[in-house]
Amino acid sequence: MRAGSAQVLMAMIWRDLRLAMRRRGQLAHPLLFLTLITVLFPLALGPDPKQLGAIAVGIIWVGALVAVTMTLSDLYRSDRDDGWLEQLMVSGHPMVLVAIGRSFSHWLTTGLPLLLLTPLFASFLNMPEQLLSTLLLSLLLGTPTLSLIGNIVAALTVGIGRSGFLVGLLVLPLYVPVLLFAAGAVNAQAGGLSPDAHLLMLAAIATLAATLTPWATAAALRTSLSSN
């Protein structure tokens, strides 16, 4: 008897999370990376709190984009190498389930930890405290889109060795709207305006991404797998 789609999805997410917990060191890589970025900027720009506070949002968001990008090239690599993806493709379960499950587990292991550590980065950079809630909200609405779009690119490049720069070249232009609206929300708040419009746009983009990207990821996985 075949398991239902919901069961398969839950099993996949559960598997991803267990694998992530067994490789705890890798889990910390994006966080360490972003911490280093937030340390390097004050070193380069000088410790003036006012100047740092003004550009803190930009540093955190750009750092988050790059940190997420760096996790993408390994997202499907080991599953392709050990044949897991191929087995799944011949099993008859829709590849869309892999795309949805992997996007969600990727967000849980990358976007969410970044979100939880952001108060630390914000205080490193002397960001005004009243902006923190908006920044966290923008990360909450924006990082799922990063995982969803990132999954497409990860699936497209799964057959390519040493794809780090290529992944960056492909994915960062697609991240531009998220960056604009997320940083725009916080900057609007800083300028005394309501950040709601920007946050709603972020939510709209996240909804659109959640609806469309799994199909693109599934198509990309099928294409990448059938080629070799």
Partner 1 sequence: MANKQKKNPIVLFIHKTGSPEYFYKLSGRFLPWLIAITTILTAWGLYQALYVVPPDYQQSESYRILFIHVPSAWMSMFIYAAMAVMAFIALVWRIKVAEICAMASAPIGAAFTFITLCTGALWGKPMWGAYWVWDARMTSELVLLFIYLGIIALYRSIDDRRAAARVASIMALVGLVNLPIIHYSVEWWTTLHQGQTIRLTGPSSIDASMLPPLIIMAVATKTYFIAAMLANARNMLIEQDRNKSWVRRLIGDAP
Q: Please give the residue ranges that form the binding site for partner 1 (CB under 8 A).
A: 152-153, 156-157, 159-160, 163, 166, 169-170, 172-174, 176-177, 180-181, 184, 188, 201, 205, 208, 212, 216, 219-220, 223-224, 226-228
Which residue, 45 or 176, has its beta carbon nearer to partner 1? 176
CA distance 167 to 165: 5
Q: In Å, how far are 32, 33, 38, 96 from 56, measured between CA atoms?
A: 17, 16, 8, 37
CB of 19 to partner 1, least distance (A): 26
* Single-letter amino acid code for the residue at 18: R
CA distance 128 to 135: 11
- What is the CB neighbour count within 10 angstroms for residue 40? 12
CB of 61 to partner 1, least distance (A): 13
Residue 188 CA from chain centroid, whole number: 23
CB of 173 to partner 1, least distance (A): 4
Which residue, 122 or 225, has its beta carbon nearer to partner 1? 225
Residue 122 CA from chain centroid, whole number: 19
Which residue, 38 or 224, has its beta carbon nearer to partner 1? 224
CB of 216 to partner 1, least distance (A): 6
Which residue, 39 or 193, has its beta carbon nearer to partner 1? 193
* Residue pair 147/213 in contact by the 8 Å Cβ criterion: no
CB of 36 to partner 1, least distance (A): 25
CA distance 97 to 215: 9
> What length does the chain have?
228
* Residue pair 60/121 in contact by the 8 Å Cβ criterion: yes
Which residue, 36 or 160, has its beta carbon nearer to partner 1? 160
- Helix/strand/coil for 155: helix
CB of 146 to partner 1, least distance (A): 13
Which residue, 96 or 112, has its beta carbon nearer to partner 1? 96
